[in-house]
Amino acid sequence: MNNLLANLTPTRLFLGVPQTSKIQVYAVAQSRSVIVTQAILTNTSEVDTALNLTVNTTDVMRDFKVASGETKIIDLYIVLNEGDTVSLQQDKENAINITLNGAVG
């Protein structure tokens, strides 16, 4: 069986801090496919905070809790097609730093 990831290039899709209103952080370019494979979440605030990850208009992760001072590494396998978008939102300003990693082809 062929490994789809073998034909794709590992890529950082986003590195930053989501806002308290939903912001688009990645859009799949024309004639491309993307697989989101990992999210690294670090809550730098003194309170627990929740995060939403949305693909197009569908919440894939909703109210995902990250405890104060905690770092979570989450394995994912979200297939995105040409024109798809990824948006992020957190419930406390500047609390969660996030890196989204994946593969692009």
Output the DSSP codes for 45-83.
SSS-EEEEEEETTEEEEEEEEE-TT-EEEEEEEEEE-TT
**Taking the model in full, what pTM does it have?**
0.92
Q: How does pLDDT run across 50-100, given as a tens digit for each residue?
A: 999 999 999 999 999 999 999 999 999 999 999 999 999 999 999 999 999
Q: How does pLDDT run across 3-25, given as a tens digit for each residue?
A: 666 789 999 999 999 999 999 99
Mean pLDDT estimate for the chain: 95
Structural domains of the chain ordered from first start: 19-104 (2.60.120.260)
Question: Which residues face 35 on adjacent strands?
Answer: 79, 103
Q: How does pLDDT run across 60-72, given as a tens digit for each residue?
A: 999 999 999 999 9
